[in-house]
Every structure is written in C-alpha cells, then in structure tokens.
C-alpha cells in the first residue's frame, strides 16, 4: 500500500509539474518571450526529501528552501550532479557560515552585512556564490528586503565583494485576492533593474526572481527569469511557513 501511495504521489507530482510548465510557456508566449529564458525553482520547504527526489527524476533541477536547518539536511542527503539549491528565506549573518558552502544560489541578500559574511565564507572555499538582492517593493513591514531607495548604494558596495556574483533582483509580492493587483510590484522590480543598468553601465544582473504559485504567470509577463513555485507543484503545506 505504501508503495502504491508513493506511485500516486509521483503521478500527481508529474501532473502538477507538467501543468506549471505549460502555464509558464503560455505566459511567456503572451509576453513574446521564450520559455527557455525562465527557470522554475520548485520550493520544497516543509516537504519530505522523497518528493524532492521524485521531482528531480521528473526533470526539476532547481529547488528552493527558506529554513537553513531544514535545508542543510536535505542538501547533505541529496546533491546529485546538476542540481541547484536556492536559499530563498531570510539569511542572518551568523548563519552565513553554513549558508555559503551549502547553497548553490542565495536569492535573499538584503544587507551589506550579510553580503560581507557570505563573501567571506565563499572566499574560504575559493568559489563565487551567485546571489540576488531581495527588494521590498511594496514596503510591507512584515517583509524582508532592502528598500528601492537603498538598492543602488547596496549594489555598488556589493560589486567590491569578489566572491559574490550579483545576478539580479528578487522580490516577494504581497498576498492579494487577484494577482493582477500585484502586477505593479513586478513591473517596479524590472524598472529598478533598468535604473541600475543606467546608473552602472556594464553591470550584468540578468535575473529577476519574482512570482509564486498565485502570481507567477503575471510575473513572467512582467519579465521574471526565475519563478519560485511551491504549492502548485508539491501541494498545500501543512505548516504555515513565512
Ligand atoms: C514559500 C515561498 C515561495 C513559494 O510559495 P508558493 O505560494 O507555495 O508557491 C516562494 N518564495 C518564497 C520566498 C517563499 O518563502
């Protein structure tokens, strides 16, 4: 029975992944973009490792986690060739020593202090860690992220950290009834990147990580290159995790 259960869950997972990929392709087409420009990060927080392994067998290569402790266990247990683990939750600088060596990407850098700590531990391992800067576009008190006003100075300072690769920007939109209500947030992140490109010519920053289960299609229409999708792939979470 247990095996049968796992088979059912894998079939459901396969269905969910196919559906999300189809929606990504449709949204990309509406925006005149190629779906190949968009990386799907499957957010596996709170979900067991066997679902991560099943998703990997179904072609998912990028996984997102937001709790360091939970993630470290999964990463230690499962790191096949080609997989990328993304840190998408708040990083405290005292956790940087664990985060920098374990994760392949850190999407949630929002202060120079954290950036310097990650840079230091990446330097010890003689690697360059790809990072995104998290921006709190809507100014919600409950959200992490730097303010749009502080962003240019933070980017400038981060360019001096030689073991971090600033790959772009990330944001988490407010929860709303109708995802159209947060289109402006995604557009604002894209415009912020354009502003940075104008102020710092030569800066690459190719990535915009924006869009989750409820709003990733809108985010893609507004230029997302990375979407972070949890529930639409793995189902509802039992625990509420910020
Ligand atoms: C949980 C989480 C997601 C995924 O949310 P879903 O609504 O399950 O798709 C994406 N990004 C961040 C930062 C998260 O914490």
From the alpha carbon of 237, which atom of ligand 1 is closest? 8
How far away, in angstroms, is 23 Cα from ligand 1 center? 17
**Structural domain 2-234, CATH architecture:** Alpha-Beta Barrel (3.20)
pLDDT of residue 202: 86
Query: Could you tell me if the CB of 230 is within 6 A of ligand 1?
Result: yes
Query: Could you tell me if the CB of 20 is within 6 A of ligand 1?
Result: no
Which residues have CB under 8 Å from 201's CB, separation 6+? none
Query: Could you tell me if the CB of 233 is within 6 A of ligand 1?
Result: no
pLDDT of residue 5: 81
Per run of 10 residues, the mean pLDDT along the chain (length 242 residues) is 75 97 98 98 97 97 97 98 97 94 97 97 92 97 95 96 97 97 98 95 93 98 98 89 56
pLDDT of residue 173: 97
């Amino acid at each position: 029975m247990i095996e049968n259960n796992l088979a059912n869950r894998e079939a459901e997972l396969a269905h969910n992944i196919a559906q999300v990929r189809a929606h990504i392709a449709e949204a990309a087409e509406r925006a005149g973009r190629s779906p190949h420009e968009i990386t799907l990060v499957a957010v596996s927080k709170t979900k067991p490792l066997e679902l991560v392994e099943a998703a990997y067998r179904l072609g998912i290569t990028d996984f997102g986690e937001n709790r360091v402790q939970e993630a470290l266990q999964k990463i230690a247990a499962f790191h096949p060739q080609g997989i990328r683990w993304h840190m998408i939750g708040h990083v405290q600088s005292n956790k940087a020593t664990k985060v920098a060596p374990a994760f392949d990407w850190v999407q949630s850098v929002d202060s120079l202090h954290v950036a310097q700590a990650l840079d230091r531990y990446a330097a010890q391992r003689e690697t360059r860690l790809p990072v995104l800067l998290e921006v709190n576009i809507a100014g919600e008190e409950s959200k992490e992220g730097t303010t749009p006003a502080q962003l240019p100075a933070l980017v400038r300072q981060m360019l001096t950290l030689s073991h971090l690769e600033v790959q772009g920007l990330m944001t988490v939109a407010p929860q709303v009834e109708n995802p159209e209500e947060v289109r402006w947030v995604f557009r604002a992140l894209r415009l912020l990147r354009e502003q940075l490109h104008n102020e710092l010519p030569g800066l690459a920053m190719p990535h915009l990580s924006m869009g989750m289960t409820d709003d990733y299609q809108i985010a893609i229409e507004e230029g997302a290159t990375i979407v972070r999708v949890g529930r639409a792939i793995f189902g509802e979470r039992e625990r509420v995790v910020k």
